[in-house]
Amino acid sequence: MKALVFDGRLSLADVPLPRRDGEALIQVRLAGICNTDIEITRGYGGYRGVLGHEFVGDVVECPDTAWTGRRVCGEINAWCGHCVWCRAGMPTHCTDRTVLGIVDRAGAFAEYLSLPVRNLHAVPEEVDDEEAVFVEPLAAAFEILEQVPVNSTDRVVVLGDGKLGMLCVQALRSAGARVVLVGKHANKLSRARALGLETRTLQERVPEPADVVVEASGSASGLQMAISLVRPRGTIVLKSTVAQPTGIDMSPVVVNEVTVVGSRCGPFDRAIAALQRMEVAVRPLVDARFPLDRAIEAMERAASPGTMKVLLEPHP
């Protein structure tokens, strides 16, 4: 099958079908390019193989035939079930996990992918493919609410006007928080305003220190800026993974007794329900669709400033 492979450089390659014993084989309908994919091509995590972890597809083979033919999205961490973290109820932190397109598991920028059956989530009819492909990053946005209590009196700043920032703002707003999106791209901020979001540029002052700052800028300097925006004893949620170590002055974190919480994968059920109930708008974030044949061009487009979500279609 065709797939986009990273082995130090990107190439479109013909690779074997990713069949794994006891798992479902899924024909990919749509896959989304995430900043993590771009960071991997810059060295993040040392991954080599088929990229991609955001997808919607159809189950074409499955040990549990009840799943065959169903339209699904899927959790990206495949866990062992018996290590100390799995037994502690933290399977996404499994010591031996593989992660779709990120750690030791061929990803979604391909005609087919393989995942354990327990990772699958059926996509309801009301959620179309262009929405379903956002379930994984939207779940990551909802993870914030699993980790940090946010209520309607909290002032929240989301730092970063990219696709992850846009999803975080919407997830937080659905919890009733007063959210301001702070970014540097005029075109992205105007799109955010079109979605009814309150926005600020980096140059505009945020009026008061925030109770919660979500760092979703994907920028090495994002944490330092988050530190400057959060109130004493406030919380910073770190969503971006950046390839390069960064010079950070952590002393304000100590002096202001700030809490910094790392945040990764989240609850698929909650993300699917939010799409089903139309509490979040993801389709306006789609900037382009490319056939898988043009995946390298699609990656370049996704990495260019000002671009939101770029989708790949393996079977256009």
Interface residues with its own copies (CB under 8 A)?
A: 44, 85, 90, 93, 147, 223, 231-233, 238-264
Which tokens sit at 237?
């949620």
* 28 vs 172 by CB, closer to its own copies: 172
Residue 176's closest CA among 147, 198, 155, 199?
A: 155
* 170 vs 263 by CB, closer to its own copies: 263
Closest separation in Å from C-beta 251 to its own copies: 4
Which tokens sit at 58?
């159809």
Provide the CA 273 distance to its chain's centre, in angstroms. Answer: 17
- CB of 44 closer than 8 Å to CB of 30: no
Q: What is the DSSP letter of 127?
A: S
**CA dist., res. 251 & res. 282, Å (int):** 38
Which H helix or E strand runs over 135?
Answer: helix 135-147
CB within 8 Å of 10: residues ≥ 6 apart? 4, 41, 51, 295, 296, 299
**CA dist., res. 32 & res. 105, Å (int):** 17
Closest separation in Å from C-beta 35 to its own copies: 12
- CB of 280 closer than 8 Å to CB of 291: no
Which H helix or E strand runs over 6?
Answer: strand 2-6
CB within 8 Å of 124: residues ≥ 6 apart? 272, 276
- CB of 295 closer than 8 Å to CB of 13: no
* 12 vs 220 by CB, closer to its own copies: 220
β-strand pairing of 54-61 with 71-74: antiparallel
* 16 vs 89 by CB, closer to its own copies: 89
Coil, strand or helix: which one is 182?
strand
* 263 vs 307 by CB, closer to its own copies: 263
β-strand pairing of 54-61 with 23-32: antiparallel
Closest separation in Å from C-beta 153 to its own copies: 12
Closest separation in Å from C-beta 84 to its own copies: 8
* 202 vs 248 by CB, closer to its own copies: 248
* 34 vs 292 by CB, closer to its own copies: 34
Closest separation in Å from C-beta 222 to its own copies: 10
* 94 vs 189 by CB, closer to its own copies: 94
Closest separation in Å from C-beta 232 to its own copies: 4
Closest separation in Å from C-beta 241 to its own copies: 4
Closest separation in Å from C-beta 238 to its own copies: 5
